[in-house]
Structure 1
Amino acid sequence: MITDSALGATPEIGPSTAVARAPVGFWLVAAVYALVMLGGTLPVPLYVFWAPQMGFGPFTTTLVFATYALGTVLALVVFASLSDRAGRRPLLASALLAAAASTALFLVARNVETLLAARFMCGLATGVFTATATAALGELAGERHARRASVVSTAANMGGLGLGAIVAGVFAQLGGNPTHLVFWVYLAALLPALVAVAVVPETVAVRHRPVLSVRRPALPGERAGREEFLRGAAAVFAAFAVSGLFSSLVPSFLREQLHVADVAAVGGVVGLLFIVALIAQLAAPARWLSRRWSAPAFLIGGVVVFEIGLWTRSLPLFIAGTLLAGTGIGLAFRRGVEAAQRLADPQHRADLLSTYFLAAYAGTIVPTLALGLLGQVINTDIATLFLAAGVVAVTLAAALGRRTGPTTHPVGRTDRH
């Protein structure tokens, strides 16, 4: 792997003349971040229309979603950390162009292959923007407002994901062309987003020529920081396994097992998970975030309750489980982002954040694909039970991990070996 040290000086990230516009730039980045994440869940309620048109079933639905997650992982491994060298704005603009290309593919999709390509491009855009925007928000906020950066970045992420499913469901229910109208509107919204990125202050003061390479996951250099980071990564892996289930197969569960036919209602239930996660991040008491068992308790409780809802065909129980699980996802995600921002070497902030989000999106790929495969050979209820057991096991392992004491200052270097 080619490292920064092999290519010359590392970038210096710090104040510049443009940072005088940092407050406006901060909120512009946050708004565009939410818009990009919204695009990630726009397709979720629309599989009910594409499936009969293109002739595919639940397994193909999980494959399409896994392709999105694969694009996200590829972006995190190859592209996202380039912003540490090339600057934040070029990567943010490139991600928006990828989102526009993805949207155009959805508009012309007539077969599964085009749908897969559209979801893959959407994943690339999401992966690049997630790591780059989170790093940019931390730098635009400054060390004095690090907590604000963490709260806003996680809110933009979860809020956008929640709104995407809800907006697409409403458009599909009320609009005349359910698989096209929402994408035309989204494509139009990306144009002012490009303008917003163009005026955002650049926070990488010294930039270098970007070099593509497959990067290994970065970790904090000190043992205590490394162990804290890995616990957060394991927790977000489990949390995103649940969100991946909601973004892929829950719409079909709602229609076929819980008899929810209204597309807007389906989008609303899926979006509810992310909206509750957003509210948990913004409104949860500080003691919930500081206690290591708060997020695991909510996540495990939610998985158990919505599993009971699926087995008993009870929509109220399923929704109750969604509320609990969403709270757990929000708490786990915010706690992990705060730790990653705090532990990151400022010169490689996007690098460590990429590793964190890599763990998150790996959590959506492996369990979701496994569930889709299991659903081909065994009862769907039993398949989701296996997924629930896996989520509980990983969550418990992360919570029970040995603690060596808190790390309260940024780690001096990032281990890239």
Structure 2
Amino acid sequence: MHRIRLSPPVAFAVVAATFLWFLAASSAPSPLYVVYQERFAFTEFTLTAVFAVYVLALIAALLVVGALSDHVGRRPVLLGAIALEIVALVLFLLADGVGWLLGARIVQGIATGAATATLPAAIVDLAPRPERAGLVNGTAPLAGLGLGGLATGALVEFAPAPTRLVWALLLGGLLVAALLIALIPETVTRSPGALASLRPRLAVPKRVRPGFVAIVPTLVASWSLGGLYLSLGPSVVIGLFGMRNHLVGGLVVAALCLTGAASAYVLRHRAPARVLAPAALLLGLGTLVTLAGTLAGLLPVATAGTLVAGVGFGSAAYATFGTLAALATPHERGELFAATYSLAYLAFSVPAMLAGVAATAVGLRPTALVYGGVVVGLAVVATVLARRVPASATGERVPATTRTG
């Protein structure tokens, strides 16, 4: 008797939706941080610590299980990640102190790390066309982050039980995802080396390295900015601009991430590698305008800057992940995306954690200004270096005489 399996197009849609749902769950705490901070009376440093332990756990998971799906298959790893995410959501539902939040975020980080390494690879495997995979891998994370922040902000402001309802809704959706993921076709043939693949490591296949190196400056600049918005963004709006509506906290995240997702969609027919330099330029320009608005205390100016930075953010996501999508074979993709996301999340977390220390010591305004200035500097470097993209980063064949490592 044959088991029921979803067709590849339906499975592709299911995996893409699961990717979006995981990222929505990961950004859901952002508008809640201010609520938790008031209820549990902790500082900006503790706030960013709760944010950072999630990312550090995620990176650890990427390092350990990043290549596991290349050996045991995509479906088992995804089902394990979903099971851990369910545990994390239950911990959030029960949370009544900082310790619960830390525990929930650590478990969520491990779950998201396993999923983040595997979902993009599964999307590439199941995509009807390579460019469709690049589009989904570039837009789904941003759309998930933006929708998660926006929906949570709305629930906190207008719905009952703000620290409970969002987790119950996410839990329900994840249970549906588990049932559907169990039905997707397996795209990887089991191969030896599963235990050896659990040894923590960061590696990029040799022939992919020129393309990978080309995306690094843009990757670091864009994810560093994202880390600021998702950790301290709502606190900055409330603390520096005096906005007390919790929906605004969600809008801060959405302004960057949903604008980014829309930009990636608009760019879907452009060659990703050609978008790297313009993306970095817009990222820097938008951040500069946001800094000017923050310095002058003008929320409309800061908002306009965030929208411009969002265009750069989404363009960068499309350019980086679109560049990588066609470079690796199926048995290299898990490891490649694990390395990419490890670097991205280091840029996402370490600066944000340092910003939490600085905000506690010297205040939110100088911290936000210095942080933004560093992002602008990175964007300038990324704009220059992106113009030196090697042929391999465009998906073109590299001549046999060209050295790749």
Map residues 184-223 of structure 1 onto 2, 5 A cutoff.
Answer: 184-208=168-192, 210-211=194-195, 213-222=198-207
Q: Structure 1, residues 133-189: CA drift from partner, whole Å, max 9, x if none?
A: 1000101115xx100011012222111111101111111112121101111111111
Question: What letter corresponds to residue 217 of structure 1 in structure 2?
Answer: L
Correspondence for 1:356 among 316, 340, 345: 340
Cα distance between partner residues in 2 of 1:19 and 1:352: 27
User: What is the CA–CA distance in structure 1 between the aligned matches of 2:106 and 2:173, rounded to whole Å?
Assistant: 20
User: Could you tell me which residue of structure 1 aligns to residue 362 of structure 2?
Assistant: 378
- Are the equivalent residues in 2 in contact too, given 1:102–1:118 (CA < 8 A)? yes
C-alpha distance in structure 2 between counterparts of 1:109 and 1:205, whole Å: 41
TM-score by length of 1: 0.89
**Contact kept? 1:343, 1:411, Cα under 8 Å:** no
Same amino acid, percent of matched pairs: 32
CA distance in 1, matches of 2:65, 2:122: 15
2:212 counterpart residue number: 229
Aligned residues: 394
Contact map agreement 1:72 1:123 (CA 8 A) in 2: yes
Between stretches 41-50 and 403-412, larger displacement belongs to 403-412
Kindly tell me: are residues 323 and 198 of structure 1, through their superposed partners in 2, closer, same or farther at Cα, counting changes over 3 Å? same
Identify the match of residue 243 of structure 1 among 219, 222, 226: 226
* Alpha-carbon separation, structure 2, partners of 1:248 and 1:18: 42
Using the TM superposition, give the Cα deviation of residue 404 of structure 1 relative to its aligned residue in structure 2, in angstroms. 6.4
Counterpart-to-counterpart distance in 1, 2:230 and 2:58: 15
Q: Counterparts in 2 of 1:303-314, with a 5 A limit?
A: 303-314=287-298
2:210/2:390 contact within 8 Å kept? no
Shift of residue 307, structure 1, vs aligned partner: 1.0
**Structure 1, 389-398 or 69-78: larger mean CA deviation:** 389-398
Residue 13 (structure 1) aligns with: none
RMSD over aligned CA atoms reads 2.3
1:115 Cα deviation (Å)?
A: 0.4
> In the TM superposition, what are the counterparts of 1:263-412 in structure 2 within 5 Å?
263-284=246-267, 286=269, 289=272, 290-401=274-385, 403=388, 405-407=390-392, 408-409=395-396
Residue 57 (structure 1) aligned with residue 46 (structure 2): no
Specify the alignment match of 1:88 in structure 2. Answer: 74
Distance in 2 separating the partners of 1:20 and 1:122:
27
Amino acid in structure 2 at the alignment position of 1:268: L
Q: How far off is 1:286 after superposition?
A: 4.7
C-alpha distance in 2 between matches for 1:106 and 1:274: 23
1:105 aligned onto 2:91: yes
Using a 3 Å threshold, how does the CA distance of structure 1 residues 267 and 217 change in structure 2: closer, same or farther? same
Which of 28, 32, 35 does residue 14 from structure 2 map onto? 28
CA apart distance, 1:287: 5.3
Unpaired runs of at least 5, structure 1: 1-16
Q: 1:131 to 1:251 in 2, by over 3 A?
A: same
CA distance in 1, matches of 2:223, 2:276: 18
CA distance in 1, matches of 2:178, 2:268: 36
> How far 1:381 sits from its partner (Å)?
2.3
